[in-house]
Amino acid sequence: MAGLRVRHRKTLALDSLDLTLGTGVHGLLGPNGAGKTSLIRVLATVARPDAGRVELLGEDIAGRRGRAGVRRRLGYLPQEFGYYPGFTVREFVAYMAWLKEVPAARVPAAVERAVARVGLGDRAGARIRTLSGGMVRRVGIAQAIVNDPALLLLDEPTAGLDPEQRVEFRELLRELGATATVVVSTHLVEDVAAACTGVTLLDGGRIAYRGTPKALSLLGETSGGPGDHPIERGYTAALRAHRAPGAREAV
């Protein structure tokens, strides 16, 4: 993407953003209002930018045909996702597979595999309304991966997951990132440190830092700033450097 600009009324959510992402797990960090969800929504083709060019999976999403082509190869979990509480887990994930145009003959196996990968194989026949919040979140992850997406977008996917489930989810992310482009928007920097191959830190709609989790941790080790973990200190140091007087003009 190049020159990406998104405006919400009078607020500039993304300001002339240039970003290229390849295969791997990419962590998207930033404070509230940094533009993370705005970026995820554009990548998911549910929101259109006010300016700039976005190419996903070789398709320019400015046109209807390009967006349709991308959506068949896309997996998306928003912060708040809609579902039918009366559906079973299996029925809902199968319905989402149908919406994504997964061939009918492949749907049953795809559904069982997706549900098993998020640890809900024993609850596949349960009504969604009977599940805990963490389980519902895992249903959301299952529907996002049921079509084996080439581009997977996850907005705060670990919300509601307990520590054991988060560890299992990180393992799944690493597995998915071996063959797909995975973008994870999160406030939990420890998830980024454990599972991501790259990290992009947004602040005020612009990129404050881009690099590897290891490099961000090293920045934290030398900064001496606040935080319980080097990557947390690196996060704070990168934000402060980006916000320093004259920093934006120097970019």
Helix, strand, or coil (residue 71): helix
**Which residues 6+ apart lie within 8 Å of 148 measured at CB?**
110, 180
Percent of the chain scored above 70 by pLDDT? 96
Q: Exposed, middle or buried: residue 134 (CB in 10 Å: 0-12, 13-18, 19+)?
A: middle
> Nearest-CA neighbor of 133 among 167, 173, 94, 165?
165
Q: Exposed, middle or buried: residue 244 (CB in 10 Å: 0-12, 13-18, 19+)?
A: exposed
pLDDT at 130: 98
Q: Residue 76: is its pLDDT beyond 50?
A: yes
Structure confidence by residue, pLDDT tens digits, 162-212: 989 999 999 999 999 999 999 999 988 888 888 999 999 999 999 999 999
Amino acid at 32: N
What is the helix (H) or strand (E) element at residue 21, kind and residue range? none
What is the helix (H) or strand (E) element at residue 126, kind and residue range? none
Q: Residue 160: is its pLDDT beyond 90?
A: no
Reported pTM: 0.93
Strands 181-185 and 151-155: parallel
Helix, strand, or coil (residue 155): strand
Treating both helix axes as pointing N-terminal to C-terminal, what angle do 213-223 and 230-243 enclose, rounded to 10 degrees? 80
What is the helix (H) or strand (E) element at residue 2, kind and residue range? strand 2-8
What is the helix (H) or strand (E) element at residue 56, kind and residue range? strand 55-56
Q: Residue 4: is its pLDDT beyond 80?
A: yes
What is the C-alpha end-to-end distance of the chain, expressed in Å? 18
pLDDT at 250: 47
pLDDT at 140: 96
Strands 198-203 and 181-185: unpaired
Q: Residue 142: is its pLDDT beyond 80?
A: yes
